[in-house]
Structure 1
């Protein structure tokens, strides 16, 4: 499933497709669904030119800290969410 496709779910009756603006490593990324896995978020970011690789570890900002998002973990994405993806061996 592509996270960047402009499709409409059945029963939306002409409503515009969902467009959720987030950032991944300070790069703007548009997501088309509210519930996505970490792998889907990273894939969408890579497709849109964000500076990361698919095998990087993804985290989402929640208040004053970041929570790790696993590749298979599905989270609810909100407008203006901030994600950081770093190499698994990055000790910074």
Structure 2
């Protein structure tokens, strides 16, 4: 099921920031930064990815489950996709 976001540029900006954070982790490991610094960087990446995931889940819910005009089959498919992702995400 294709997903078109009304704010693709915002999502792409978030992804680019996350890429920058991951690059900082890589630099820290390469430069043998202290463990505490690496842990802080990884925690920041995790928080950023969680925030991105939350936003996309809400958009999916709004577009593919709760949007008026969806038929029962479309709504069920959107809910099933969301269930699969949430289960995978929560492992």
**Shorter-chain TM band:** under 0.3
Query: Which of these two proteins has the greater Rg computed from alpha carbons?
Result: 2
Using the size of structure 2 for normalisation, the TM-score is: 0.22
Larger relative contact order (Cα-Cα within 8 Å, sequence gap ≥ 6): 1
Q: Which has the higher helix share?
A: 2
Using the size of structure 1 for normalisation, the TM-score is: 0.22
Q: Which has the higher strand share?
A: 1
